[in-house]
Structure 1
Amino acid sequence: MCRSIKTLRPPVTEQVGDDDIRAAALQYVRKVSGFHRPAAHNQAAFDEAVNAVAAATHQLLADLVVRGSGARRSA
């Protein structure tokens, strides 16, 4: 699922920005919903889902401890 979403954690990706996280969230919501572009009556739900997934991704990346680094990553 979502094969075009790249891994965002180090050391796979050293520099991860908000644009990277948002793109991954958008791709995930597109895949799960089955909509590339939702109809107007679904746009708010679609946008809310993208925002929620992006926020969860930010939190996940901030909380991950990469083996050998001994420190949490700041996203």
Structure 2
Amino acid sequence: MTPELHDEDIEAAALQYVRKVSGFRAPAAHNLEVFDQAVEAVAEATRKLLDGLEVRGSGGRAS
């Protein structure tokens, strides 16, 4: 079992991922909106994944 993740943890991981794949630590002003949208999309996908995971025999979220 893994410890329960908080929204802050998920957002931080999403930001790290987007920074890594984009190659930008801080995007230019003209890319900020799409960068932020990508962070939110990754965070939302992560939340959906974690909410849907089940550990056999537990019937609930893997946490």
Same fold? TM cut 0.5: yes
* Aligned twin of 2:43: 54
* Aligned twin of 2:26: 37
Q: Does 1:63 align with 2:58?
A: no
The list of structure 1 runs, each at least 4 consecutive aligned residues, that deviate by more than 3 angstroms after superposition, is: none
Q: Equivalents in 2 of 1:15, 1:43: separation in Å? A: 30
Q: Equivalents in 2 of 1:40, 1:74: separation in Å? A: 38
- Root-mean-square deviation (Å): 1.8
Which has the larger helix fraction? 2
Structure 2: segments with no counterpart, 5+ residues: none
Highest RCO, 1 vs 2 (Cα 8 Å, sep ≥ 6): 2
Aligned counterparts, 1:12-27, within 5 A: 12=2, 14-27=3-16
Q: What is the identity percentage for the equivalent residue pairs of Structure 1 and Structure 2? A: 62
